[in-house]
Structure 1
Amino acid sequence: MTTSAVTPTTPATDASSASRSRLHVLPVVGNPRPGSRTRVAAESLSRAIAQRLGGGLTPTVDLADLAPELFAATRPAVDDALRRLASAHVAVVATPVYKASYTGLLKAFLDLYGADGLRGVVAVPLVVSGSPAHSLAGEVHLRPLLVELGASVPTRALALTEAQLADLDEVVATWVDAHGPLLDAAAVRA
């Protein structure tokens, strides 16, 4: 895994833009299936947020790739992913909805942080579910976990149903337009 950020394509024109151009957005995917639709959604939202903030996008942390190492005595790739998330400016933390909540894989990963392990990170919860009945899983379950770890969660979670994945770009653009001012303010503070 590499930690270098992709630089924005437009140069910064003022002090605020200059500081924001160093921002980076990290997608973290808690789906146990590699290359999942949750990952596609997380990367789409992360790209849109990075574009909105004039920042860079860092390579995805896909926990499916790290699962075999998660409970091992030594876990260099997991430790690297933990450092990358803790140093992200903005993190899209994505999970499919399992049993009306986030996955155990995501919980096991986030449990490796101590108190305030995500202090200074602006987190955006993203949940993908099969039914609109689970649309509050991000607000009721994932947001409190991220706040407990010290992350700032300035926006509502993006809750997607599997049916919405067909129009993912449009759904993401609508969400970013609606929540962009909150992300802008949080990114400046970060």
Structure 2
Amino acid sequence: MTAPASRVAVVVGNPKPQSRTLEAATYVATELAGHEPDLVVDLAQLGARLLDWQDEMVTEVVAEVGSADLVVVASPTYKGTYTGLLKLFLDRFASGPDGGLRGVAVPLMLGAGPGHALAPELTLRPVLTEIGGTVVSPGLYVVDSAHDDPSAYAAWLERSAPTITALLGSRTGVSA
């Protein structure tokens, strides 16, 4: 009997559907897990539903993301931080044993230039930790013009993937 593969989710807070941010997050998740994400949440497609705290579909998506073993949470950089769209979604997670993220979380942000390279560490990492995510690697910042260039991710993946995959393996019984 083989152990189940890790459940991988991608959450993208770009207000533009099917964005470069989505491509980047999917790439990172696939590289880390060795398979395509099981769940991809493009928040632009949820739109105003995120404002309705009674919306059952959003509640289900939050539960699925919360139970994933690995979650790549991505946003373009807006005014030095992540988007309000992503904030609306992350506000749905309660910290503590009955809610929140339960897996490894990877903060990823794209931006126009290197001036906001610390944004994932300073803005996204703390909230992912606060809502229960285990953030074991530095946040990843990619200049958006290089979002489709594997070399833009190579150094971060070389440094971070061993720790992330080892932790995933210890949590799921699956070695990468």
TM-score scaled by length of structure 2: 0.88
Alignment of 1:75-154 (within 5 A): 75-116=55-96, 117-154=99-136
Aligned counterparts of 1:171 and 1:24: Cα–Cα separation in 2: 25
Question: Could you list the per-position Cα deviations for residues 6-39 of structure 1 after superposition, in whole angstroms to 9, with x for gaps in the alignment?
Answer: xxxxxxxxx9xx44x5202111101111111100
1:188 aligns with 2:166: no
Question: Could you list the per-position Cα deviations for residues 136-181 of structure 1 after superposition, in whole angstroms to 9, with x for gaps in the alignment?
Answer: 00000100000001110001111001222241x2323442222111
Aligned counterparts of 1:166 and 1:57: Cα–Cα separation in 2: 17
Question: Could you list the per-position Cα deviations for residues 91-133 of structure 1 after superposition, in whole angstroms to 9, with x for gaps in the alignment?
Answer: 0000000110011111111111112333421000100011101
Whether contact under 8 Å (2:32, 2:165) holds in the other structure is no
- Over the matched positions of the two proteins, sequence identity in percent amounts to 36
Aligned to 2:23: 40
Whether contact under 8 Å (1:138, 1:158) holds in the other structure is yes
User: Secondary structure, in 3 states, of the residue corresponding to 1:115?
Assistant: coil
Aligned counterparts of 1:150 and 1:40: Cα–Cα separation in 2: 25
Aligned counterparts of 2:113 and 2:152: Cα–Cα separation in 1: 16
Gaps of 5+ in 1: 1-14
User: Secondary structure, in 3 states, of the residue corresponding to 1:57?
Assistant: coil
Aligned to 1:158: 140
Aligned counterparts of 2:37 and 2:50: Cα–Cα separation in 1: 24
Aligned counterparts of 1:97 and 1:73: Cα–Cα separation in 2: 26
**Count of matched residue pairs:** 169
Whether contact under 8 Å (2:69, 2:104) holds in the other structure is yes
Whether contact under 8 Å (1:44, 1:172) holds in the other structure is no
Aligned to 1:4: none
Between 69-78 and 59-68, the greater mean CA deviation after superposition = 69-78
Aligned counterparts of 1:82 and 1:27: Cα–Cα separation in 2: 12
TM-score scaled by length of structure 1: 0.82
Aligned counterparts of 1:163 and 1:69: Cα–Cα separation in 2: 31
Aligned to 2:160: 179
Deviation at 1:57, TM superposition (A): 2.2
Letter in 1 for 2:10: P
| CA RMSD between the two structures | 1.8
Whether contact under 8 Å (1:155, 1:182) holds in the other structure is yes
